[in-house]
């Protein structure tokens, strides 16, 4: 307005000049405040969206019943660790699981699976991997340990499961045991080869009386 007032024929009275400055200031200030608030709201919504996406990804990797890694998530992570030497695999199968469902109902069977999963997770280190393959069968990958350490951890998992007491709807406490196969990982072979050896050792534990750890030959 100041420049316009200096141009011949474009004189603007002082009262209009003042009103123009006042109006522009009174309009721009609320607009700036609104833009700042909108920017903060957009940032909050973006952070909330990122958190929800991360939570959905976490849930997609989790077995819904036990809270352990799902089968696919376990294999994805174990494949990455398998390339390094010093890893061991556990195949864990709950003994006589069908009896829990038949004698006490599926609610008890689900409770047993959840309790076993918790026992496995607590018996292992945070750096180890554990997941549910399906049904009553679980799998674990012991990261970077020697023969003695692997054997001790496998035995610790077995003893932790044996110590479980799960209450059936009838009020009766049921006991749980598991048969475990232990196999050394071999980076030169596919991960399936190591798991197959652990699986054979687990079946040897079953036929050998259950509630024990057998190491693959």
Q: Which residues are catalytic?
A: 136
What are the distances in angstroms from CA 63 to CA 54, 144, 177? 16, 25, 21
Q: Max alpha carbon distance in the chain (Å)?
A: 110
> Quick count: other Cβ atoms within 10 Å of Cβ 96?
12
Contact 99, 106 (CB under 8 A): no
> Can you list the alpha helix ranges (DSSP code H) found in the chain?
2-6, 14-60, 71-82, 97-104, 106-123, 147-162, 191-207
Q: Which of 119, 117, 124, 132 is nearest to 73 (CA)?
A: 132
In whole angstroms, give the CA distance from residue 215 to residue 116.
21
């Amino acid at each position: 307005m100041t420049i316009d007032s200096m141009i011949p024929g474009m004189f603007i009275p002082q009262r209009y000049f003042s009103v123009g400055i006042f109006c522009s200031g009174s309009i721009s200030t609320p607009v700036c405040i609104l833009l700042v608030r909108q920017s903060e709201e957009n940032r909050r919504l973006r952070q909330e969206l990122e958190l929800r996406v991360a939570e959905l990804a976490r849930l997609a990797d989790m077995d819904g019943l036990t809270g352990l890694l799902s089968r696919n998530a376990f294999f994805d992570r174990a494949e990455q660790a398998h390339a390094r030497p010093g890893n061991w695999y556990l195949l864990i199968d709950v003994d006589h699981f069908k009896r829990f469902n038949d004698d006490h109902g599926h609610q008890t069977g689900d409770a047993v699976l959840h309790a076993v999963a918790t026992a496995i997770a607590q018996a292992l280190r945070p750096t180890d991997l554990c997941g549910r393959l399906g049904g009553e069968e679980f799998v674990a990958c012991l990261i970077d340990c020697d023969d003695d350490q692997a054997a001790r951890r496998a035995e610790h998992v077995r003893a932790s499961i044996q110590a479980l007491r799960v209450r059936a709807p009838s009020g009766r406490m049921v006991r749980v045991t598991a048969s475990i196969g232990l196999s050394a990982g071999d980076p030169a072979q596919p991960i399936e080869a190591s798991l197959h050896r652990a699986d054979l050792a687990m079946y040897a534990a079953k036929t050998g009386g259950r509630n024990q750890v057998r190491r693959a030959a």
